[in-house]
Amino acid sequence: MNRDDTTPTPAEERLVGALADREDQAVEAALRPKDLGEFIGQEKVREQLDLVLRAARARGATADHVLLSGAPGLGKTTLSMIIAAEMGAPIRITSGPAIQHAGDLASILSSLQEGEVLFLDEIHRMSRPAEEMLYMAMEDFRVDVIVGKGPGATAIPLELPPFTLVGATTRAGLLPPPLRDRFGFTAHMEFYAPHELERVVHRSASLLDVVIEPDGAAEIAGRSRGTPRIANRLLRRVRDYAQVKADGVITREIAAAALAVYEVDARGLDRLDRAVLEALLKLFGGGPVGLSTLAVAVGEERETVEEVAEPFLVREGLLARTPRGRVATPAAWAHLGLTPPHAPAAGNGQQDLFGA
């Protein structure tokens, strides 16, 4: 059967998707601040980090190891690049899941230059053998490479040039104390206030050569979940809408209409967030209901609901975690315009099937 020449093949669709992702990554890279002066928000972290870096430069020494924790999209990767730029040093980027063996880490460490910044994203997901090797590398700038196996194995010490490790994690509690204690400076990244996100949106709009009115920036900032990465992503989608449906200028009305098309409501809830709330309210009477059951109800993986939707819903006061399961708050019923049942769902005895 002949295929319509205008219909893309699966391979072509994957290629288009990959190119789009690459374009988004290029845009995100262009929007990243290049130094601490350009970095918006996180005032306390910026002040503390500036002191650490300025003192290291004054001593002519390598900066202390830095641990950055916080939710995704708050600027941990950007700060690691700024640290390298402020120290005039190259940066090497890798991630915890990519280091599954001590040899993987030894290969990276042995190729570092003096003063180089090693950015280790998702450091809490690094394997235990690599983690134990990292202790000595951070403290003594050396590693022991094991040659051979069994009784004849020999440990060969390998000296490393002084370097700065910047670790990033979204789960600081999973880091063992011996690793956490080896960082000279630790910082927790907080969610952004709306006025800070407005500054982020205005800066990004200027770099993208987009005309945006103050109320348009406020509308985007208010739906960005306290996260600059989301603010920049929404700005790009609103820009597309403004170019196609309007005169290219982003006003409050244009921003609201565009975000409605992309299913982002006035509080920043997206399709998945609303699906979770609707399932919790309409199918389970507001809960309590187990996370696995809730995930099945919305057709998503348990981890997706737990790590993507749930933290924001809890932070917004729309969902609560209890020993018996997830429970909707009165604010959730009000947000979806629904009326809660007279009798609480937890009293019917059937919810025990769902678990916590």
9 is catalytic: no
User: How many Cα atoms sit within 13 Å of 332 on the Cβ side?
Assistant: 28
Task: Give the chain's count of helices (H) and strands (E).
Answer: 15, 9
Task: Tell me the per-residue pLDDT of 180-207, one tens digit each, with 9 for 90 and over.
Answer: 888 999 999 999 999 999 999 999 999 8
Average pLDDT over residues 252-268: 89
170 is catalytic: yes
∠ CA 111-114-120, nearest 5°, is 60
User: What's the pLDDT at 285?
Assistant: 84
Give 149's contacts (C-beta < 8 A, 6+ positions apart).
none
Start-end of H helices in the chain: 10-31, 43-59, 76-87, 102-110, 128-140, 177-180, 194-207, 214-222, 228-245, 252-261, 271-278, 291-298, 302-304, 310-315, 330-335
Strand (E) or helix (H) holding 326: strand 325-328
Lowest-confidence region among 139-153, 258-272, 321-335, 336-350: 336-350
Residue 105: closest CA among 167, 48, 32: 167
pLDDT band of 1, cuts 50, 70, 90 = very low
Please indicate whether residue 77 or residue 6 has the higher confidence score (pLDDT).
Answer: 77
Among candidate residues 46, 182, 223, 229, the one labeled active-site is 229
Among candidate residues 170, 227, 251, 329, the one labeled active-site is 170
Give 83's contacts (C-beta < 8 A, 6+ positions apart).
49, 53, 63, 66, 117, 164, 166
Q: Which long-range contacts (CB under 8 A, 24 or more apart) does 211-219 make?
A: 211/248, 211/249, 211/250, 212/249, 212/250, 213/249, 213/250, 213/251, 213/252, 215/251, 215/252, 216/249, 216/250, 216/251, 216/252, 216/254, 216/255, 217/250, 218/194, 218/252, 219/252, 219/255, 219/256, 219/259
Task: Tell me the per-residue pLDDT of 316-354, one tens digit each, with 9 for 90 and over.
Answer: 888 888 888 888 888 888 888 878 776 454 444 444 433
Helix axes 194-207, 228-245, angle to 10 degrees: 50
Average pLDDT over residues 227-247: 91
Q: Cα-atom radius of gyration of the chain, to the nearest Å?
A: 24
**CA dihedral for 93, 96, 97, 99, sign (positive or negative):** positive
DSSP 176-191: -HHHHTT-SEEEEPPP
Strands 142-147, 154-159: pairing kind = antiparallel
Give me the phi and psi of 26, to 5 degrees please: -65, -40
Lowest-confidence region among 2-6, 213-217, 253-257, 347-351: 347-351
76 is catalytic: yes
Among candidate residues 46, 78, 121, 164, the one labeled active-site is 121
Set out the domains of the chain in order of their start, with CATH numbers: 29-188 (3.40.50.300), 194-261 (1.10.8.60), 271-353 (1.10.10.10)
Q: Read off the DSSP letter of residue 67.
A: E
Among candidate residues 46, 62, 76, 329, the one labeled active-site is 76
- On the question of pLDDT at 258 being above 70, the answer is yes
User: What's the pLDDT at 98?
Assistant: 86
265 is catalytic: no
34 is catalytic: no
Among candidate residues 77, 78, 227, 251, the one labeled active-site is 77
